[in-house]
Amino acid sequence: MLTVNAIAATSPTDPLVRTTVERRDLGPRDVLIEIRYAGICHSDIHTVRGEWGEITYPLVVGHEIVGRVTEAGTEVSRHAVGDRVGVGCMVNSCRECENCRAGQEQYCLNGNTGTYASVDRDGTITQGGYSTHVVVDQDFVLRVPESIPYEKAAPLLCAGITTYSPLAHWNAGPGRKVAVVGMGGLGHMAVKIAAAMGAEVTVLSQTLGKKDDGLAFGGGDYHATSDPATFEALRNTFDLIINTVSAPIDMAAYLGLLRLDGTLVSVGAPPEPLPVPVFALFGNRRSFAGSGIGSIAETQEMLDFCAERGIAPEVEVIDADAVNEAYERVLRSDVRYRFVIDVDSLR
């Protein structure tokens, strides 16, 4: 066992504190990663506060992890010592179910193993990336292209793939009109990726406060959802709407923005069920869908795509001791657009 520095939650209400955590001995198919940066995702906050179900404390969160391989197991063939690598939201799956065999292990029918707060194969609870090192099976480790700066690569592992996957699945591209709801960590990546795919992108944000950014990231148009005129002006317009907001939205109003065969995909999850007015689906044969992260192969495709197109998230790098303050700022939407922890501050 390797004992490494980390910051952990010890209860739903107390601030995160410095501690140590144990990493398993390197198995033949494992790599040891020296973590350099870890992104702060809204899911981390929901999880440590027990808002997505009871968890076991202490818990180290963080599923936007980048670093370098410092040791590789005897059977590791996909990565070598010195490689720049990343780990996202999952670290294993059953590999046998229909979905795993189809290369969609994020939808493992036996439940994928989350990077934190999941029961690992050895029965321990997985501990995430707010930490100096992590041991991960080689099949769940991504190659991070050299051209993406380390600190900017981290948020791609969750925010990047969570938005790339539905954009790719629902064919965002030339001639397609895509709206992105919300301009936070996920939303700003959705705008950049959809624009890089060649789609015509409109940002729908509560106010016009981030309009300059939205247009700079590739949005062709930007509207405030606090203005009812927006929903009139944009009726029957979009092929695809990516909803990144995790608060409830007025489903009838948003579905009304879809044109024939359009789809509204939610990647943000409000804690309560959303009422869907079915008549809003009849008009224009609309669909309402969800999407969860992406497969390992698709995550690699996304990283390579972002490297080729030169797109990366906007980040604010912080020291580990600033995490509690960063959480408060994330909850106030006071970040442009993703906090990333400089893990050197934990060594």
Binding residues vs Zn ion (CB under 5 A): 41, 43, 93-94, 97, 100, 108, 110, 158
| Residue 82 tokens, joined | 């010195």
| Shortest spacing between CB 86 and Zn ion, in angstroms | 13
| Chain centre to alpha carbon of residue 314 | 14
* Residue nearer to Zn ion on the CB measure, 65 or 346: 65
E strands present in the chain: 2-8, 17-23, 30-39, 65-72, 84-87, 90-92, 113-114, 133-137, 142-143, 177-181, 200-205, 221-224, 238-243, 258-266, 287-290, 315-318, 338-342
Residue 8 pairs in a beta bridge with 17
Q: Residues for the chain: how many in total?
A: 347
* Residue nearer to Zn ion on the CB measure, 151 or 200: 151
| Shortest spacing between CB 184 and Zn ion, in angstroms | 12
Eight-state DSSP code of residue 52: T
* Residue nearer to Zn ion on the CB measure, 61 or 199: 61
| Shortest spacing between CB 128 and Zn ion, in angstroms | 10
| Shortest spacing between CB 227 and Zn ion, in angstroms | 30
| Shortest spacing between CB 260 and Zn ion, in angstroms | 33
* Residue nearer to Zn ion on the CB measure, 43 or 244: 43
Q: If DSSP codes are grouped into helix, strand and coil, which group holds residue 66?
A: strand
* Residue nearer to Zn ion on the CB measure, 41 or 320: 41
Return the sign of the alpha-carbon dihedral for residues 90, 95, 101, 107: negative
| Shortest spacing between CB 230 and Zn ion, in angstroms | 28
* Residue nearer to Zn ion on the CB measure, 156 or 240: 156
* Residue nearer to Zn ion on the CB measure, 51 or 212: 51
Residues 6+ apart with CB under 8 A from 146: 84
| Chain centre to alpha carbon of residue 288 | 20
Q: If DSSP codes are grouped into helix, strand and coil, which group holds residue 7?
A: strand
Quote the Cα angle for 296-178-327, to 5°.
60
Quote the Cα angle for 233-237-239, to 5°.
155
| Shortest spacing between CB 93 and Zn ion, in angstroms | 5
